[in-house]
Amino acid sequence: MLIYRLANPAPAIWNVLKTLVVIALFDAVVVWGIPMVILFLQHADLGLGLFFPPQAEAGEAVLGASTLLVLWAGVVLAIKGQGTPLWFDAPRRLVIDGPYAWLRTPMVTGTLGQVIGAGIITGSVIVLLLVPVIALLWNTLIRPTEEDVMQHYFGRHFELYRRSVRCWLPMRSPWKPPPEVGPFAVSGMLDRVRQRRKRRQ
């Protein structure tokens, strides 16, 4: 089970810098490191052929667009959410702006797109097979705990968001909370606790 902890209050630029470092390290391993190991094994005459004609331009386009999605989502998460993608430095607020208005997991979807781009560039079927493996692992091992924790911190606001916005594929138009929900749709549990304390004083 993940050790989930909200980020400490910090300037937005610090959260952005931490998030960019996390993205760079994650991409270095998942988008580049693992595919390079696979390619090495495929070329080492270990019976791991399964190549198709590489499509460099198409792959670069997919990789570039997916990378922009990951960066956009990361920066919005850091600024609006006041945290990072790390579960022990998690956002203090529910983020429903930017790419999160189109789908709930833009960083995960973007990462899968990056791997698809890498597979198209290298022409490796096995690299492309990483996509369903990553998706299955995330959906099975990480998503349930993450959503349970978000439900705990953000309550009915997250439940409304979860029911309204798709997880993997973008919506046809960006989602906005109903007017009656009000500005507290992005407030975390800590903000509600502070409000209760002020009312008591």
The predicted structure's pLDDT at residue 51:
87
d(CA 72, CA 99): 7
When computed from its CA atoms, the radius of gyration of the chain, rounded to whole angstroms, is: 19
d(CA 97, CA 95): 6
The predicted structure's pLDDT at residue 111:
96
Close Cβ partners of 131 (under 8 Å, ≥ 6 residues apart):
112, 115, 116, 119
3-class secondary structure for 137-201?
Answer: HHHHHHHHHHHHHHHHHHHHHHHHHHHHCCCCCCCCCCCCCCHHHCHHHHCCHHHHHHHHHHHHC
User: Does 184 score more than 50 pLDDT?
Assistant: no
pTM of the model: 0.86
User: Does 185 score more than 50 pLDDT?
Assistant: no
Residues 166-182 have pLDDT tens digits of 998 899 999 988 876 65
What is residue 30's DSSP assignment? I
Residues 139-154 have pLDDT tens digits of 999 999 989 988 888 8
Mean pLDDT check: name the lowest of 29-38, 44-53, 106-115: 44-53
